[in-house]
Amino acid sequence: MTTASGLAHAQERTNQLGGELQCPPGISIVLPVRGVTFDPGVGQLELDVTLCNGSAETQQALLEVSGVPDDWRIALRPIFGPYEITSITLPGGVSKDFRLRLTPLQEEGTSEFQARLNIVSPSGELLGAEVVSVQRGSIDRPPGEEVLARATFNALRGPTTSQFGFDIAITNRTSENVTLELGSLVPTGWTVTFTPAVGEQKLISSVTVIPRGIERITTTLSPNRDALPGGYRAVFEAASEEFFLEVPLQVVLTGVPDLLLTTPNQRLNLDAVAGQATPAAIRLVNIGTAAQPSVNLLADAPPGWEVTFEVDSVVNLEAEAIADISLEITPPANLVPGDYAITIRARNPLVDESFDFRVRVLRATIWGWVGIGIVIVVMGSLVGLFLRLGRR
């Protein structure tokens, strides 16, 4: 049995030929360390594993772990990467290194079992197997001697375009400095960075916590731009030779807010008569992936104009939904005919869209008739004057 502590990696590889690893025919597992004993306080262990294809053809295989108690987690992982491996494709004559991670889910207790790592063909045929014996004694740590990690908020919510910063406090209740390597498990396509919560904002990959001290780390998750709205889970990890810490995190994506403001007929100009209400309409289209809980409607018009909306706001506009809103535009009665602009705006805390209505103002028809009447009166007076002067 090999006694292990923390994240110590078993890197002894027996090679009787003294050169490159020789693969037996077919696909096989090479597990140099086949027995481990967890010391008190150990939170996790990783063993080197090599998968080897000794045939001339590319082999596909499924990877399964059996014989693991419910209070343990054992998974095959890459040398670098925050994910677990359940299947593999190996070209002929190629070997590839992995790590077998063993993690007890309970802080205390005793265990003794044999975990079996199986290689299975896509048709279900067993191609190879290796067994590792695991033994764990009870943890005998002085009362209060521990390292803890907690997030101020374990769940955050926002649009896909946001970055989500989790404030995580690491508390060292031991009497010695504790240096922890930082890691994470995040959804595919997401990125994660670690920075000090206070002080210089630089990227870090480890942190040292003084005895009886607290260090705060900001873990920033950036979603995949193509991520759909919904809940996503991640895990913050911090590990040393003795301690392994995990903090579950959750991000709820509400989608991308985006709004199109236009008119039903796509025309952004209209004719209006001075002093008269002219009907018009606008159209709101939610072209984002997030629902718009409330969109306020506003108008910026020249002094003396009146713009009245059918409703002042549109409530709960779902993604891809369309809303047509009627309005009336009334220019002042004494306005000089000409072209004017009115800005129509739709806004809420997430979006702010607008367009300009070009309004051509015409004089009221009654004033045209009044003008014609005045012309007729003037012309009649002139004709009467000429006739009187002609008789003289």
- Tell me how crowded residue 225 is: count the other CB atoms within 10 A of its CB: 9
Q: Which of 253, 271, 304 marks a domain boundary?
A: 253
Q: How confident is the model at residue 264 (pLDDT cuts 50, 70, 90)?
A: very high
For residue 376, being part of any structural domain is answered with: no
pLDDT of 303 reads 93
Residues 54-82: tens digit of each pLDDT:
888 888 888 888 888 888 888 888 887 77
Same domain, 267 and 360: yes
Residues 288-326: tens digit of each pLDDT:
887 888 899 999 999 999 999 999 999 988 888 999 999
Domain count, the chain: 3
For residue 247, being part of any structural domain is answered with: yes
Amino acid at 163: Q
Q: What is the mean pLDDT of residues 9-36?
A: 56
137 phi/psi in degrees, rounded to 5: -95, 170
Token reading at 390: 């002609």
For residue 375, being part of any structural domain is answered with: no
Residue 89: its H or E element = strand 87-90
Q: How confident is the model at residue 17 (pLDDT cuts 50, 70, 90)?
A: very low
Same domain, 127 and 202: no
Same domain, 85 and 179: no
Instruction: Enumerate residues 6+ apart whose C-beta is below 8 A from 83.
Output: 77, 185, 188
For residue 386, being part of any structural domain is answered with: no
pLDDT of 15 reads 31
**257 pLDDT above the threshold of 90:** no
Token reading at 253: 């994506």
For residues 121, 123, 124 and 125, what is the CA-based torsion angle, rounded to 10 degrees?
Answer: -60
Residues 142-166: tens digit of each pLDDT:
666 789 999 999 999 988 888 999 9
**270 pLDDT above the threshold of 60:** yes
Same domain, 123 and 24: yes
Q: What is the mean pLDDT of residues 23-39?
A: 76
Q: Which of 136, 169, 204 marks a domain boundary?
A: 136
Question: Which CATH number fits the domain that encloses residue 267?
Answer: 2.60.40.10
For residue 385, being part of any structural domain is answered with: no
pLDDT of 356 reads 93
**219 pLDDT above the threshold of 80:** yes
pLDDT of 81 reads 73
pTM over 0.85: no
For residue 370, being part of any structural domain is answered with: no
Same domain, 156 and 213: yes
**23 pLDDT above the threshold of 80:** no
Instruction: Enumerate residues 6+ apart whose C-beta is below 8 A from 191.
Output: 221, 222
Question: Look-up: residue for tokens 């989500």?
Answer: 164
Q: Are 309 and 297 in contact (CB under 8 A)?
A: yes
Dihedral sign of CA atoms 108, 113, 119, 125 in order: negative
Token reading at 290: 């997030």
Q: How confident is the model at residue 18 (pLDDT cuts 50, 70, 90)?
A: very low
Alpha helix ranges (H) inside the chain:
365-391
**366 pLDDT above the threshold of 50:** yes
Q: Which of 190, 222, 253 marks a domain boundary?
A: 253
* Strand 164-172 relative to strand 191-196, pairing: unpaired
Residues 93-141: tens digit of each pLDDT:
888 888 888 888 877 777 788 888 888 888 888 887 888 888 776 545 5
Question: Which CATH number fits the domain that encloses residue 159?
Answer: 2.60.40.2310
Q: Are 198 and 256 in contact (CB under 8 A)?
A: no
Same domain, 182 and 246: yes
Rounded Cα gap, residues 7 and 4, in angstroms: 8
Rounded Cα gap, residues 282 and 96, in angstroms: 62
**40 pLDDT above the threshold of 60:** no
Same domain, 218 and 282: no
For residue 378, being part of any structural domain is answered with: no
pLDDT of 321 reads 92
Same domain, 217 and 263: no
For a pLDDT cut of 70, what percent of the chain falls above it?
84
CA angle 211, 215, 220 (to 5 degrees): 155
DSSP 100-130: EEEEESSSS--EEEEEEEEEE-TTS-EEEEE
Same domain, 107 and 200: no
- Across all residues in the chain, what is the average pLDDT? 82
For residue 213, being part of any structural domain is answered with: yes
Greater pLDDT, 356 or 21: 356
Q: Are 353 and 264 in contact (CB under 8 A)?
A: no
**235 pLDDT above the threshold of 90:** yes
Integer angstrom CA distances of residue 234 from 79, 82, 156, 164, 170: 20, 10, 12, 12, 18
Q: How confident is the model at residue 41 (pLDDT cuts 50, 70, 90)?
A: low
| Residue numbers of the domain that contains 223 | 147-253
